[in-house]
Amino acid sequence: MPEQVITPELRQWIIEQVSAGHSSASVLGAMKASGWTESIALAALENTLKAQALPLIEASRLLPEVVMNEGATTVWAHDREVMVLVSMAHPRVLVLGGLLSPQECQEMIELAQPRLARSETVVNATGASEVNVARTSQGMFFARAENELCARVEARMAALLNWPVERGEGLQILRYGPGAEYKPHYDYFDPMQSGTPAVLRRGGQRVATLVTYLNTPAAGGATIFPDVGFQVSAVAGNAVFFSYALPHPMTQTLHGGAPVLAGEKWVATKWLREQRFE
Ligand code: PD2
Ligand code: ZN
């Protein structure tokens, strides 16, 4: 009976077995046959494959990404210089400064505002997840390139993230009132949900998210990543970007909008798809 500890040797053995073509199930069977408790064997298998396999999957997939010159703190995006304030590898998260000008933030809010009012009584159904709030949050979508501002901002985001405009959804604008929050969720479509195949026909999976803050709330409203204890303050014109190579929690892209404690919060969200989104 082996000691029930996941050693580097055990991890190495698991990788060898899987690399040699043995299925996870047969590796699990072999571990159980040699005395491992099923739950511990499963945990060892999952941990090892996550640590070894996720980076391989990430490396083999083309994802939206900011490409910077070595040592640079800013990146030129179409028509504007954008600051890269924070860069995290796992999960892949970037905090960007000055993506939109103060005037562009204001104009985006003004263009969205009348359409929020009209959709007041409509139940919010974004498909992937819902804004969980008490009547205080409202949303609307702009069509891609619907107006000059959207077209300009989308061209900038596409250049910034090296991802064609056609693979992006239209900008979604959200307004959170006092007390409103967005409970932690994933932005990808859950492969186990029955409605997902239909959603995926229109551009494939979501692979990355860019949330741009259109104002600075008086208090609260940070974007939080609970898996990694990380949060991004909502500051007008700044943005948080994150990508996910797989529609799986192992990407650690669980995120939410913390409650707005005073004032209001406006964001513009751009979701990037694998393929052309029409
Ligand atoms: O407003 C946010 O901070 C936020 C948080 C989580 C926005 C979204 N998700 C989203 O638009 O998906
Ligand atoms: Zn989200």
Q: Which residue's CA is the closest to the ligand 1 atom numbered 11? A: 269
Residues 23 and 141 in one domain: no
Residue 2 located in a structural domain: no
Percent of the chain residues past pLDDT 90, beyond the cut: 71
Residue pLDDT, tens place only, 133-168? 444 578 999 999 999 999 999 999 999 999 999 999
Alpha carbon of 148 to ligand 2 centroid (Å): 26
For residue 127, the model assigns a pLDDT of 46
For residue 121, the model assigns a pLDDT of 36
Alpha carbon of 153 to ligand 2 centroid (Å): 20
Residues 55 and 79 in one domain: no
Residue 103 located in a structural domain: yes
Residue 267 located in a structural domain: yes
Residues 18 and 79 in one domain: no
Residues 53 and 79 in one domain: no
Residue 130 located in a structural domain: yes
- pLDDT band at residue 117 under the 50/70/90 scheme: low
Helix, strand or coil, per DSSP, at residue 183? strand
The residue segments making up the domain with residue 35 are 8-60
Residues 48 and 94 in one domain: no
Q: Is 211 in the pocket of ligand 1 (CB under 6 A)?
A: yes
Residues 144 and 220 in one domain: yes
In ligand 1, which atom is closest to the CA atom of 267? Answer: 1
For residue 219, the model assigns a pLDDT of 98
Residues 118 and 227 in one domain: yes
pLDDT at 43 over 90: no
For residue 259, the model assigns a pLDDT of 94
Alpha carbon of 256 to ligand 2 centroid (Å): 6
Residue 67 located in a structural domain: no
In ligand 1, which atom is closest to the CA atom of 209? Answer: 12
Residue 3 located in a structural domain: no
Residues 38 and 136 in one domain: no
Residues 190 and 212 in one domain: yes
Helix, strand or coil, per DSSP, at residue 215? coil
Residues 265 and 191 in one domain: yes
Residue 65 located in a structural domain: no
Cα dist from 186 to 31, 87, 154, whole Å? 33, 20, 23
pLDDT at 12 over 70: yes
Q: Taking the C-alpha atoms of 53, 70, 239 and 155 in order, what is their torsion angle to the nearest 10 degrees?
A: -100
Residues 44 and 116 in one domain: no
Q: Which ligand is nearest to the CA of 211?
A: 1
Q: Is 212 in the pocket of ligand 1 (CB under 6 A)?
A: no
Q: Of 143, 131, 133, 136, which is closest to residue 120 (Cα–Cα)? A: 136
Cα dist from 57 to 18, 49, 160, 245, whole Å? 15, 11, 23, 7
How many domains does the chain divide into?
A: 2
In ligand 1, which atom is closest to the CA atom of 187? Answer: 12
Residues 122 and 49 in one domain: no
Q: Which residue's CA is the closest to the ligand 1 atom numbered 6? A: 256
Name residues whose C-beta falls within 8 Å of residue 233's C-beta, 6 or more positions apart in sequence: 222
Residue 68 located in a structural domain: no
Alpha carbon of 78 to ligand 1 centroid (Å): 25
- The CATH number of the domain holding residue 149 is 2.60.120.620
Residue pLDDT, tens place only, 225-258? 999 999 999 999 999 999 999 999 989 999 999 9
Query: Residue 72: what are its φ and ψ, rounded to 5°?
Result: -75, 150
d(CA 18, CA 16): 6
Q: Is 257 in the pocket of ligand 1 (CB under 6 A)?
A: yes
pTM assigned to the model: 0.83
